[in-house]
Each structure stands twice: as C-alpha cells, then as structure tokens.
Structure 1
Amino acid sequence: MNIILVKIKHGDHQAFKSLFESCHYKLYQFCYRFTNDRDTAEDIVQNIFIHIWNNRAKLNEQTPVEAILFKTAKQEISNWYRSLKNQEERIEDDAMIAEEEDTEDPHLAELQKDYLYKLLDKLPDRRREIFMLHRFDGLTCQEIAQHLEISKSAVENQIGLALAYLREQAKLSKSLL
C-alpha cells in the first residue's frame, strides 16, 4: 500500500504538497518533450496535479504513484493536442470564411471592415494586438510568440478567444437584422 496516496485520498494537503514537490520537475520534463513549450508544459503539469487532487477519492493505493501521475500526464497531453488541433481547425475555417467574404460587394465589405475594427477596439489590448498580428500582418502563432516573448499556446489561446468573441458578436448582429 502506498502511504502518500492513502494520505492524499483522505485530503492531507501536506502529503499532496510533498508529492507535488517530489514529482513536479520529472513531470515537467516529460510534458516538455511533447509540447516543446515551457508554459504549455507547466500548464499541463498543473492540470495533472489538479486532476489528482480533484479525483483523490478514486485513487487506488495499490497503484504506484508514478504510474498514476504519468498516465494522467499522457491524458492531459492528449487533451492538449486535441484542443490545439481544434483551435487550428477553427482558425483555418475562419480564414476561409474571411476569404469568401472578400469577394462580396465592395461597399458591404467596407462596412464589415468598419464593424470589425469597432469590435476589435473592444478587445483587451494584448488580445487585439495578437489577433491583428496574426490576421492582418500574417504572422504565425510561433512568430507572434517569439516577438511578444510569450508561449505559442498563449498566442493560440488569445486568438481563439478573439475569434469566439467576434463570432458571438456576428451572431448577435445577424439576429438583429
């Protein structure tokens, strides 16, 4: 029986902290090998420990701690890849829609552009900057991350949030017509 898992299962914060401190770096290295991004690897490690704590009642004391941690790590990395793929697909879909809209009536396109800029002005400054670098300057997420000295996943997240906001506003404006 694994004593630390028994303690964590019963809500022992000190045991959980000890597990975190002893395994954090090893998990971080493991995650970094798959993501090649420090911030993303750190986020995934945090998610691993959150998952362990939130599901502590289901822990099997007979299973080795590292087996539980690395199985959870594989699941979290898989989730990250899925979300990354979904974000990239949404960005590509939005780019195709934007290209289709460019072929419409020039006057209507100008009105849409004015409306878009008004919506972009409502975004938080950093999100607007990232979105404009990506959409209007044609920079990749990696290039923006290097330019702004932030993680690629942070850039992708901000683009996703900006697109979600713009989609929501587009739905609202269509419902008003």
Structure 2
Amino acid sequence: MNVSLENVKAFELFFKRNYHLSCLVALRYVKSPEVAEDIVQETFLYLWQKRAELKITRNLKSYLLNAVKNRSINYLQRERQFDELTDSGFLVSFDEESEAQHAEDELAVQIASSIEFLPSQCKKIFLLAYQDNLTYSEIATTLSLSKNTVKTQMGIAYKILRTQLKSFVFSLFYFFNLKKC
C-alpha cells in the first residue's frame, strides 16, 4: 500500500492502521509500553515533518516498521551507554548484532506484520494469548466465549500465520545455508 505523505487524511488513516503494529515492534525491543509508544510517536512525527524530503521507494509500511525497529535499537544502545557510563565511569563500545540476532529480529517484525492479516476476533484472541500470556480458559472468560471457540480461533490464527510466514522462514533458511557454503 503506497500512502502519500503529503495527504493529511491518508496519513491519518495510515497512522491509525499501523500504530498498534508499530508499538508491538518497538515493544519487542524496549519491553516498556510507555517507551514503545514514545518511539512510535517520534517515528510518525519524523515521517510527517520530513515528508517533503523523504524519498521512500518501497512500501511505506515496511519503511515505518524498519524505522521503529532502528529507533528502538538506538534507544537501547543509548540506555546501555548511559548505564555503562554511570557504572564504570567510561563508555564501552558495542559489538554489532550477530546475523542470528538480526534474523530473529526480522522474524519478530514479520510476525507482527502477519498478525495484522488475522480476522478481528481471531486477532484479539491471538494477542491475548501471545501478548498478555493468557490461557485459553482466561481468554474465554475475558471475552465471554467458550474454551472451544478460543481453541478454534487460535488454530485459525496459527494456520494464517504459518501461511504468511512460510516464505520468510524459507528465505531465512536459504540465506543461512548459503552462508555455510
């Protein structure tokens, strides 16, 4: 979906459709909902303020998710630097992310993106299980559903996610096998 950064209404709709997903991506890294929301809001603000200068040649949603991921990583590095500076009196340099960690991060972004393809009730149930760590019984009680309905919806969610992530996982497998050669 190509969204014009110049059109206010289109950008507002883009914001509403991608805010939650962006927060999930940031939360994967920073582990604090408040910090994740700040990072996402800063990213959207940056996109809006720099809209005339940005030349996005690919999907805006992909650009957004990568920007959120990078800002989250930068936040963590700044926090670590501050902690190390105060703990030891000097700044310690950071090693680059390993390829395996990068692949894991990319998979997390892909999972977050794939969750958006779930039907609304299925998505709600999946997020309660995945994000809030609720059991099927707890989800059933929370949403006033039967436990079997929750099981069925989770089955649907896993089937859709497997389909959505199949090509991505295959690409990772192919990439790491090439690296071994």
TM-score, normalised with respect to structure 2: 0.44
Whose Rg is larger? 1
Question: Which of 1 and 2 has higher RCO (CA within 8 Å, sep 6+)?
Answer: 1
TM-score, normalised with respect to structure 1: 0.45
